[in-house]
Amino acid sequence: MATKQRVRSKNNSNISDVSKGLVLEALFSSIDTSKTGVITSVQFWNELKKRGILSDDPRLSDVKDAFDKACIGSKKGIDFSLFCETIKHALLVHKTLRGELCIPDFSGFCDEITDIFKEVKSNVNGNVANYIPQLARVNPKYFAVSICTIDGQRFSHGDTNTSFCLQSTCKPINYCIAHEELGEEKVHQHIGREPSGRSFNEMALNSDGLPHNPLINSGAIMCSSLIRRNIPIADRFDEVIKTWTELSGDVEPTFNNSVYLSEKQTADRNFALAYFMRENKAFPENTNLIETLEFYFQCCSIEVKSDSMASAAATLANGGVNPLTGKKVFSDGTAKNCLSLMNSCGMYDFSGEYAFKIGFPAKSGVSGALLIVIPNVMGICIWSPKLDELGNSVRGVEFSKKLGERFSFHNYDSLINNSEKKDPRRHKYESKMDNVINLIYAASCGDIDEIKRIEAKGVDLNVSDYDGRTALHLAASEGQFEVVDYLIKRKVNVNAKDRWGGTPLKDAKKSNHVDICNKIEKYLSK
């Protein structure tokens, strides 16, 4: 909080060392609750975990190394000055401990998720999919839930160490891959975007002779024919694996060969659909049908754990940028189109009811997986293999209902005044302003990775705070040479003026950062 006011304050144009010290001191004492003057690595990671940030978070690998190093030889833990040194560049740690992530009361939220989990667990209705023998053998008792917010706060509960195959949850992602490469128009020359009103493998095409949408079998087979058509099939499969790795925050998925073989052997309907589409000239010219079908079955047989699927869902919730790595996996336009389709067609023949009653985009698969997106908030994965007659996970649907009853996550809940539902997220305006504040703060403390992550979200690096101070102003006055160098390379406005008419060059001169003055002057003279 103190830092925020500092950035906005009128008469103090820099985040001073004093104020930074105060913030760090407050953070330190929030961990050192028993006032021993030191904190251990276990205490530190526990505090972060309570707020949803886990020790395997790829954004914190440097902090983890630094912490481990600092703790060597000091069983008791590290003191305040070592703590400051260790986390000084890690904006994520600061934000986490200050309660400034997407869901501030994360542990309270997780308690509610666990509550829902318990309630839903008693529902043992439904049957595992039996049309693919290998799926029929899965333990029907499995039940897992994972969540990942757009700030990378994570929580998993239940059978989260067991992998399951994607089945139809591969469909939205394959659509995104094709969309990313070919664009909306080209993709939809071959696939419609209307709900079919029929079951997922119905022999039916729309009045143009095309599959109704990419999220039922016919449309997914079509998408498979569109993905990277000009490279060998093995490379096309690698492309899908690479995408899932990125969506999962750098965790590579596995492949279940027996599901693939079993699926291929029992695929009469999918073959029939493909021939039916070929008869209607729906495929691009020179499509190899067998190869396309096999590719589709392979994508269905990719396996992930629930936390990876939640991270993939969170990437869609975050406009295509993975929250854990900051990597832009899909453009925001691709994510938007995918979510629109998930909203109208993601739950097979239950899509209309799901959109009406529950009201957030989701995609189910016959493995019992359910990939849910709460746009701008989080991704959720629920996995429970028993299905209803429509092919959706029984517990997945019940979980969604309960989630929608407790929290204002329905697309149009924002219209309801005096809603009884809870809203766990930070205020929208506040989080927009956060981007600006975080960028400027990251520039002042030299956290280039964080700057890149904010940039990947589409934030203009020229934005300024209330005082007209830009990231470059702060980097220049705080002596952050590498940040200055990066911002100049990214072509920000080097002559930006703050409300007192100050430029980054003036700031660098005032604080006597000679290397930065030289850098800026050299750039300006060009």
> Which residues sit at the interface with ligand GLN, rule CB under 6 A?
167-168, 200-201, 217, 263, 270, 300, 365-366, 391
Judge whether 509 and 493 are in contact, CB under 8 Å: no
First to last CA, the chain: 41
Nearer to ligand GLN, 342 or 366 (CB): 366
In sequence order, what DSSP letters do the residues of 397-448 get, joined into one string? HHHHHHHHHHB--STTGGG-TT-SSB--SPPHHHHHHHHHHHHHHHHHHT-H
Q: What's the Cα-to-Cα distance from 189 to each of 50, 186, 296, 315, 524, rounded to whole Å?
A: 48, 5, 19, 26, 49
Nearer to ligand GLN, 273 or 488 (CB): 273
Nearer to ligand GLN, 260 or 360 (CB): 260
Residue 260 C-beta: closest distance to ligand GLN, Å:
10
What are 39's strand-pairing partners? 78
What are 373's strand-pairing partners? 379
Rounded to whole angstroms, the Cα distance separating 15 from 359 reads 43
Nearer to ligand GLN, 366 or 454 (CB): 366
Judge whether 227 and 174 are in contact, CB under 8 Å: yes
Structure tokens at 229: 């058509």
Rounded to whole angstroms, the Cα distance separating 377 from 425 reads 7
Q: Determine phi and psi for 147, rounding to 5 degrees.
A: -130, 155
Nearer to ligand GLN, 96 or 351 (CB): 351
Q: In what order do the strands lie in the sheet with 369-374?
A: 154-158, 144-149, 378-383, 369-374, 362-364
Rounded to whole angstroms, the Cα distance separating 306 from 163 reads 7
Residue 329 C-beta: closest distance to ligand GLN, Å:
22
What are 165's strand-pairing partners? 303
What are 302's strand-pairing partners? 255
Pairing state of beta strands 144-149 and 154-158? Answer: antiparallel
Residue entry with tokens 């052997």: 265
Nearer to ligand GLN, 218 or 308 (CB): 218
Residue 300 C-beta: closest distance to ligand GLN, Å:
4
Q: Give residue number: closest CB to ligand GLN.
A: 168
- Residue 287: helix, strand or coil by DSSP? coil
Residue 366 C-beta: closest distance to ligand GLN, Å:
4
Nearer to ligand GLN, 217 or 431 (CB): 217
Nearer to ligand GLN, 302 or 517 (CB): 302
Residue 168 C-beta: closest distance to ligand GLN, Å:
3
The secondary structure of residue 373, as a DSSP letter, is E
- CB neighbours (10 Å) of residue 340? 12
Rounded to whole angstroms, the Cα distance separating 513 from 479 reads 6
Residue 143 C-beta: closest distance to ligand GLN, Å:
18
Residue 213 C-beta: closest distance to ligand GLN, Å:
13
Residue 301 C-beta: closest distance to ligand GLN, Å:
8
Rounded to whole angstroms, the Cα distance separating 103 from 99 reads 8
Residue 265 C-beta: closest distance to ligand GLN, Å:
12
Residue entry with tokens 């060969």: 257
Residue 131 C-beta: closest distance to ligand GLN, Å:
7
- Residue 169: helix, strand or coil by DSSP? helix
Rounded to whole angstroms, the Cα distance separating 8 from 336 reads 33
Nearer to ligand GLN, 142 or 155 (CB): 142
Residue 274 C-beta: closest distance to ligand GLN, Å:
11
Nearer to ligand GLN, 302 or 310 (CB): 302
Enclosing H/E stretch for 93: helix 91-97
Residue 259 C-beta: closest distance to ligand GLN, Å:
9
Q: Residue 160: CB partners within 8 Å, gap ≥ 6? A: 144, 146, 305, 306, 307
Nearer to ligand GLN, 270 or 322 (CB): 270
Angle 51-55-59 from CA coordinates, rounded to 5° = 90
Nearer to ligand GLN, 224 or 503 (CB): 224
Nearer to ligand GLN, 345 or 366 (CB): 366
Residue 298 C-beta: closest distance to ligand GLN, Å:
10
